[in-house]
Amino acid sequence: CPAILVRRGSMGSSASREEAPPEAAAGGFSVRMTPELLQRASESSANTEAPVTTTRGEIEEQLQLAFQQGAEYAVGVMRQQAAEEGSKGAGAQIADARDESARREAEINAKVEALHEREYRPPFNPRACTEQRAAVLECYQRMSGQPAGETVFACEAAVNKFVECADFVRTANIEKVVPNSLPSVSVDKQGEPSP
């Protein structure tokens, strides 16, 4: 049993002294108070209300109120978590939309590349009739300074071969564009027209 020491007299006065309380009853304790403290206690208790007593019904009402407040708090927390998850869901939707956009952009770029590859590019053909052209140029350079009549007569054969070759190339190209539109032309093994 705990023992409480009580001081007599006012605090700090020379009249205060310590005394041991009488033996407490089994399972309890006792307190001795000074007459001044008893007077003060009785004055303050006259100013205060009576002790609060609660009935079983009031306790049940308070428990119900506490339960209801706890349930409302839990619902609020769940709503907040759902809103956070919803905002995370919006972020996921944005990420999915960006992924879809990137995938579609890649598809479009692949289709554009395929279209560019299908675009017509004429085949590279070496310049036709280069030998005949060189022969004509060489003839005119050789005959420079000569009278015009002599130059024409001397280079006539080279010019005629160049014209025949140019006509053949022109005819062959037209035949590629519009098949069977021109009379056939026979070609020798070197790709030159035969007379």
Backbone angles phi, psi at 6, to 5 degrees: -115, 135
Closest by alpha carbon to 185, among 173, 158, 124?
173
Structure-derived torsion over alpha carbons of residues 182, 186, 188, 189, reported in degrees to the nearest 10: 70
Closest by alpha carbon to 164, among 138, 142, 186?
186
For 37-84, what is each residue's pLDDT tens digit?
778 777 766 665 555 577 888 888 888 888 899 889 999 999 888 887
Are 2 and 27 a contacting pair, CB within 8 Å?
no
Integer Cα distance of 80 and 87 in angstroms: 11
Distant-in-sequence, close-in-space partners of 181: CB < 8 Å, separation ≥ 6? 174, 175
For 146-172, what is each residue's pLDDT tens digit?
888 888 899 999 999 999 999 998 888
Predicted TM-score of the model (pTM):
0.32
> In the predicted model, is pLDDT for residue 7 greater than 80?
no
